[in-house]
A and B are shown apart, each in its own frame.
Chain A
Amino acid sequence: MNNVGKNMNDVIPSPVGREAPKDSVIAQETLKMKARNVDVFYADKQAIDDVSIDVGLENVVAFIGPSGCGKSTFLRCLNRMNDTIPIAKVTGEITLDGEDIYASDMDVVQLRARVGMVFQKPNPFPKSIFENVAYGPRIHGLAASKLDMDAIVEKSLRRAGLWEEVKDRLQDSGTALSGGQQQRLCIARAIAVDPEGILMDEPCSALDPIATAKIEELIHELRGRYAIVIVTHNMQQAARVSQRTAFFHLGTLVEYGDTSDLFTNPREERTKDYITGRYG
């Protein structure tokens, strides 16, 4: 644990005269994803500049920052979603359980099952609720029998807090659900392949406050089981759901710290100006 702490401090130096918060060090046993000196270029334009961050199981991490700051770009690096953009180039090191996810022998399909993604707009397949959840386990060969598959679907829907609402209509189309239910279905779909991490890109921005609260409660429930990173424009949401918050600005990681510290006493002037709604 001490080694990890040292390492963190080497990479992300605390500003002079302030010690890093006690729990900024992520215990080795719960550390899942580690990014070091990550740069991202879209052709000649640099979108991410030297970002290093640790993500553990115990702490939900929120990425905040103004539009175009690179938070979504960086999120997408964590399961190589940027590979789908031909002009994007990622350098630096990102590991999952110590394994370099950009290694040439990394199976990207497998990686995206291990680190699932939930998008801003719920995107269920135009198939039944059951099939939406069963699809992933089937292509990854996770269920040996129909019974197995039923169990996986039920467990995933339960963990996503959707089971009670849909158990009697599993054959209905996923697209017939409400927006909030669709989003939880997408989370169930991500969970079904037994991932290690879940990346959420503005998962609630299309939802009403009740549906949003359900997703936030779900994030709270899932914490500890999966490494969770959420990108959000809603600072109150970041404050509510995360234990660690990273503030991005112009492609750099300005500040990464405990959520409770960052929102009450940010270290950096730029963070303060952003979270208090001032002109920078």
Chain B
Amino acid sequence: MNPSAARIAARVLEALGRGERIYTAVVTGARDPALIGRRWWLSGRRHGGTLGSPALDEAVAAEVPALFPPRESRGALSRDFRYFDGGQAATATVYIELHGPPARMIIVGAGHIAIPLSRMGAMLGMRVEVLDDRPDFAAAARFPEAEEVRVIDFRDPFTDFDLGPSDHVVLVTRGHSFDYECLVRLLRMPAPPGYIGMIGSRRRVRATHEQLAREGFTTDEMRRVRAPVGLDLGGQTPAEIAVSVVAEIILFHAGGTGVPLVEKERVVERFFGDL
């Protein structure tokens, strides 16, 4: 029997609960009306349902990993697939979704900026983890939106963390020696987090980079670190700084320009210039 949308939703939630990626597909256009609404899913090596033809299932399975960037945890698109069914060429429009474990925001340093940052990361649907070496600061009660609050040792801050390209790490520690310790470990990972941001004044960022240079890191490696972190909004308060950081994270994923839309679109100048 064709799995219903409700059944597939349950599958997706199960996969997310296990921390696995799952692709789901449904035929939305085909010459044979019996195919419309046929569903199929794939998670790791497991799969179920069918799009109505094993050849079409295989064509979709072969293409899905390339359709969605590996660092994204969510995606949705429609594609036309050509396949052979009983020796005949056929085409079907298939709508495919990717659901993966939510992106993580790891906030290192549980000070005053971490509080609004944790809240905003959770608002963006990220799994937020907060780390500090001070138990009074790395206290769960200070970070109700965080999934995890941990006391760590800055000499080996990420020892139990399985960090990868889909993760966001924001360094807001209380001293640049701690930032440096974290950066060295992050940059030496075989697959570092996709987004690494570090707060700091120009002077503090420069001091950290000088230490990295002495340690043999290249300028290409330094450029992997967004430091100073955030967009230039001019804000000063912890909440304003947190907005500038999450704004940069959105920009990183969504690929905008970061300029005000009024300047990008210039509706008045373009359409009302001669009034």
Partners in one complex: no
A residues sitting closer than 8 Å to B (CB atoms) are: none
B residues sitting closer than 8 Å to A (CB atoms) are: none
